[in-house]
Structure 1
Amino acid sequence: MHLLYLDDSGSVGNAADKHVILAGLSVFERQPHWLSLQLDRLAADIWPSEPEALEFRGVDMLSGRKHWRGVPRSEREQAYRTVLSTLTSRDQIRLFGAAIHKGSVSPLDPMEQAFEQVCSRFDKYLGRRHRQSDTQRGLIILDKSAYETSLQGLANNFRKRGYQWGRLNNLSEVPLFVDSKASRMIQYADLIAHAIRRYYDGGDATYFDLIARQFDTEGDVLHGLVHRRPKDMACPCFACKAR
């Protein structure tokens, strides 16, 4: 089974956020244990007295909030880079993400639009693996949020009735929601989503560039990242240039 861990970045209700991001990583079922160990070891280096309490969240790390207060900025930034580099050092990890410009989908809910995009792309990735004689089911795991009920309902509808591009054929269950404090994998997803939002809303590619080549591709075709924008808005971003 392949597990897709997702987290969101950007607020639907905050006018200052132009985009809503939903993004994360797909891994084979045996990989989370080893990837989580990497963050546990990094946490022990940074805060040896209570490493399990140190949560890797992009906003907190770069702003020095919560348990990151008192950690020098250079160390916080290096920790962020180290986490992302852990992902890019493993060939079997695939990233998926959707950056939805809120104005481009109004009056529809941008988070639901992002979820549909990511679900369909993950399902197609599993379909490609099936055609390559590697049949695996997929499970989506998200951080607990106010969207838990609506996204579970959406996924159930996708499986039963299909979505705008077809039907979901490879997902084994409706999404699961877990507490990010208890899941290092959701913390990886948070840093991915945060890096994407800094890229699209802040024009800062520092962290995005570290992971850009890890998004799911087939040959030269980029499948793992999509940017929904107004039709009259030209965009030179990584995803739009690859279309």
Structure 2
Amino acid sequence: MHLLYLDESGHPCDPSSEFFVLAGFSVFERQTHWVETQIDPVAARFSATNPREIEFHGAPMRGGKDEWKGVPPQDRVQAVVDILSLLADRQLSLRVYACVIEKSLFQKQDILSRSYMEVANCFDSFLKNEFRKDKNNAQRGLVILDKSNYEEQIQTLSHVFKHVGHANGQLRNFAEVPLFLDSKASRLIQLADLIAYWIFRYYQSGDIRGFEFIKPYFARFGSPNSQMYGLHEFVTQATTARLAALPSATYPFPTPTQKVVVPTSVPSSP
């Protein structure tokens, strides 16, 4: 089974922001433990006695709020970089999915449903493509999200998309309706939060730093003539032009912390 962890950034009804982002990543079920074990050591830098109390949440980390108050900016930024760099780990095979909506293009009540439809349909197409490549690899998918006010709406959308259909067809490869977890208890939801937040920062504020880390890992699959891409944008031409003209970051992200490789055995003395 493949699991798709999602979170949102922005709000359809918030007049202070122009964009809404629903984003996250998919991972094979057997890899979830290994993702978590890569994130926990980052948390231990900030609480050696109880690293589970540390929650990686995009906005508080950038702003130095909540449990991140008093943590030096360079340490907060390094933590973000080290977690987002997990997307580059080929053994984990993480794939990013996102829908970005410029809110002026949609009715407020349609923003969440459209973004969920795009992301869920792309993930469903990935599962279908895996089966096409290998008839013995009939994988199912499950969507997991942070608990929010959208829970009932997304449950309803998922049921409709699976049993009735949506604009692009039907969801045929989902094992169950979406599950909702407390982000405090799930490192993988926290990773999805960071992905959604830094994609939002790119479109809303022109902050390219996190997006540069994420961009190479958007899902790509299918045939050359009908390749699917994990990023779905609904933005104005003005936004496209603004983003294309962005300069390089004045204060770019640092390189990821090099992981310490612990040898599996100690060589015997000569």
Q: What TM-score results when the alignment is normalised by the length of structure 1?
A: 0.93
List structure 1 segments (4+ residues) > 3 angstroms apart after TM superposition.
219-222
Match of 2:240 in 1: 235
User: Offset of 1:234 from its aligned partner?
Assistant: 6.1
Counterparts in 2 of 1:99-114, with a 5 A limit? 99-114=100-115
Code of the residue aligned with 1:26 in structure 2: it is S
Distance 1:211 1:28 in 2: 19
Give the conservation status (yes or no) of the 8 Å contact 1:215–1:222: no
Q: What is the percent sequence identity of the aligned residues? A: 41
Give the gaps of 5 or more residues in structure 2.
245-270
What is the SS of the residue equivalent to 2:240?
coil
Where does residue 141 of structure 1 map in the other structure?
144
Q: Separation in 1 of the partners of 2:56 and 2:21? A: 18
Q: What amino acid does structure 1 have at the position aligned with 2:46? A: I
1:176 — aligned with what?
Answer: 179
One-letter amino acid of the counterpart of residue 229, structure 1:
V
Greater mean alpha carbon deviation, residues 157-166 or residues 39-48? 39-48
How do 1:33-182 residues align onto structure 2 when only pairs under 5 Å count? 33-90=33-90, 92-133=93-134, 134-182=137-185
Following superposition, the deviation at residue 46 of structure 1 comes to: 2.3
Q: Which amino acid aligns with 2:182?
A: D
Q: TM-score, normalised by structure 2?
A: 0.84
By how many angstroms is 1:109 displaced? 2.5
In 1: Cα distance, 2:65 partner to 2:113 partner: 29
SS at the partner of 2:143? strand
1:48, distance to aligned residue in structure 2 (A): 1.1
Cα RMSD between the aligned structures?
Answer: 1.6
SS in 2 for 1:207: helix
Counterpart code for 1:52: R
Contact 2:122 2:228 in 1 (8 A): no
In 2, distance between residues paired with 1:150 and 1:176?
13
Equivalenced residues, count? 237
Contact kept, 8 Å, 1:11 with 1:20, in 2: the verdict is yes
Q: Is the 8 A contact 1:101 1:110 kept in 2?
A: no
Q: Which has the larger radius of gyration?
A: 2
1:177-192 alignment, distance < 5 Å? 177-192=180-195
Q: Distance in 2 between matches of 1:195 and 1:31?
A: 23
Instruction: Name the counterpart of 1:241.
Output: none
- SS of 2:113's partner is helix
**Alpha-carbon distance in 1 for matches of 2:160, 2:112:** 16
Secondary structure at the counterpart of residue 70 of structure 1: coil
CA apart distance, 1:50: 2.2
Residue number in structure 2 paired with 1:224? 230
Q: Distance in 2 between matches of 1:164 and 1:70?
A: 48
Q: In the alignment, which residue of structure 2 is the partner of 1:16?
A: 16
